[in-house]
Amino acid sequence: MIVVRNRFIPIGKRYGAMNLFGIMFVKPDVVLTDEVVNHERIHSRQMRELLYVLFYLLYVMEWIVWLIRLRGDAYRSYMNISFEREAYRHGGDMGYLSRRRRFAQWRGDGANF
């Protein structure tokens, strides 16, 4: 995975790394742990199986639905996106991608935050 350190992406203080089309953008002060890298690799797998554009459309649509349900709480909405639930739940499991089933983000194994 290509890693680009910069001050601009991701936007916001709560986010230290972001995966865009398989390229990980990381703020200069963020320590890249194995868990962070694995979290972003899980997103890369999700993107590929949904042909990238569909991933981003579904991601934004789901965030908007959660934003409405959670009355404007942007961070909790982000944490409840199915793609994020899967990546956070399995980010610490370095062998997860080798046994991950397709479309695992919708198979009900993610915890709500």
Q: For 57, what's the count of Cα atoms within 13 Å in the CB-facing half-sphere?
A: 5
Does residue 88 lie within any of the structural domains? yes
**How many domains does one find in the chain?**
1
Rounded to whole angstroms, the maximal C-alpha distance in the chain is 37
Is the pLDDT at 112 greater than 70, yes or no? no
92 belongs to a structural domain: yes
pLDDT cut 70: percent of the chain above it:
95
pLDDT at 98 over 50: yes
In a domain, 107, yes or no: no
Inside any domain, residue 59: yes
Question: What is the pTM assigned to this prediction?
Answer: 0.92
Residue 46 is assigned to a structural domain of this protein:
yes
Q: Print the domain residue range for 21.
A: 2-102
Please report, for residues 3, 29, 51, 95, the alpha-carbon distance to residue 79 in angstroms, rounded to integers and kept in the order given: 23, 22, 22, 23
pLDDT at 96: 97
**pLDDT(113) > 90:** no
Q: What is the reported pLDDT for 109?
A: 57
